[in-house]
Amino acid sequence: MSLPDSPPHSHTPGSGHDFRRASRRALTLTFWLLSGIFVTELAGGLYSRSLALLADAGHLLTDVAAIGLALFAQWYGQRPACAKRSYGFRRVEILAALINGVSLWMIASYIVYEALGRLATPVPVASSTMVVISTVGLLVQTTAALILLRASGESLNVKGAYVHAATDAIQSAAVVVTGLVMMATGLWQLDPVVSLGMAALIAYSGGKIAWEATAVLMESTPSNVDLLAIARALREVPGVLRVTDLHAWSITTGYNALSAHIETDPSLDAKQREDLCAELGGQLRRDFPLHHLTLQIETQCTMCRDGHCGQWLADQAAQ
């Protein structure tokens, strides 16, 4: 029996639709802030010949593209479900996050390539220009990170944008310090050395986002869902004899689905089984971050025989 969906983020009253609208506003404002500072850093990096500043601009370009893609995904993901896509287009947001993460690896690879070349042949840098522009970048990126901070815990794309803005601010701070040191010492090798550190940070950020997106696409159990606790909670309800075929996955960030076969006491009539199903659905939504539930109520176990029925979980829950 498929129970009516609860809205995303229903564990936080009033946060579903309002949250999506607020996150869209935050992404839009951040998009324009970072677009402006990207153009500034790109021009400044070319003028000053600073690889570190160009690396920061490259990361910013990825951020601008990623945020634009996230905004498109949020808009496109609201399209209604159809016969070919019964869950609608919610996964577009996850695909956007995966593209975001992979693109960061590509940027990091290019920065490493350029930095190694400059270590062998140092390039003089207009460090005063580098310091002024990176300081402006630091202020803008810090502002963008603060705008996204409140929304970063719910949507994977907003979280990705927040991580990017925060790491960009750290990178800009490193560029400011590097520029000041080079102004005082003329040690041009510092520029590619700092760029290598920034490349490692970019690669780590991209890997984290790509890993989380891949987990959703692989339909892994959401990190905030404890399947064993769910199985035990279901087993404790009077009338439930056994829980099998228990699976949980995410359709998109903050929208978790669960299915289970519930073997009940054979003495229960049809009305009692229907009431039991409603009770179980209400308890699951109240105690766990679940939104789409499919509970199969049966008097005899008819679990699947494909080797993935989760029988080990049912056995542990019964202990």
User: What is the b/e burial string over 85-95, where b = at least 16 CB atoms within 10 angstroms of the residue's CB?
Assistant: eeebbbbbbbb
User: What is the b/e burial string over 178-206, where b = at least 16 CB atoms within 10 angstroms of the residue's CB?
Assistant: bbeebeeeeebebbbbbbbbbbebbbebb
Yes or no: say if 149 and 162 are a contact pair by the CB < 8 Å rule: yes
| Residues in the chain, pLDDT under 70 | 1-22, 70, 73-74, 77-78, 81, 86-87, 151-157, 300-319
Yes or no: say if 203 and 229 are a contact pair by the CB < 8 Å rule: no
Please, is 83 exposed, middle or buried when counting C-beta atoms within 10 Å of its C-beta (0-12, 13-18, 19+)?
exposed
Whole-angstrom Cα distance, residue 278 to residue 267? 18
Yes or no: say if 261 and 303 are a contact pair by the CB < 8 Å rule: yes
Q: Checking DSSP bridges between strand 240-252 and strand 2-3, what pairing results, if any?
A: unpaired
Instruction: Give the pLDDT score at 315.
Output: 55
Whole-angstrom Cα distance, residue 81 to residue 5? 13
Please, is 49 exposed, middle or buried when counting C-beta atoms within 10 Å of its C-beta (0-12, 13-18, 19+)?
middle
Tell me the HSE value of 281 on the side-chain side, using a 13 A CA sphere: 21
Yes or no: say if 58 and 203 are a contact pair by the CB < 8 Å rule: no
Whole-angstrom Cα distance, residue 245 to residue 30? 43
DSSP, collapsed to helix, strand or coil, labels residue 274 as helix
- State the DSSP H helix or E strand holding residue 252, giving kind and residue range, or none if neither: strand 240-252
DSSP 157-211: HHHHHHHHHHHHHHHHHHHHHHHHHHHHH--TTHHHHHHHHHHHHHHHHHHHHHH
Residue 292 bridge partners (DSSP): 257
Whole-angstrom Cα distance, residue 190 to residue 67? 31
Question: In the numeric block, which tokens belong to residue 64?
Answer: 């601008």
Instruction: Give the pLDDT score at 316.
Output: 56
Instruction: Give the pLDDT score at 18.
Output: 53
Domains of the chain with CATH codes? 13-217 (1.20.1510.10), 227-318 (3.30.70.1350)
Whole-angstrom Cα distance, residue 73 to residue 152? 16
Three-state SS string over 201-236 comes to HHHHHHHHHHHHHHHHHCCCCCCCCCHHHHHHHHHC
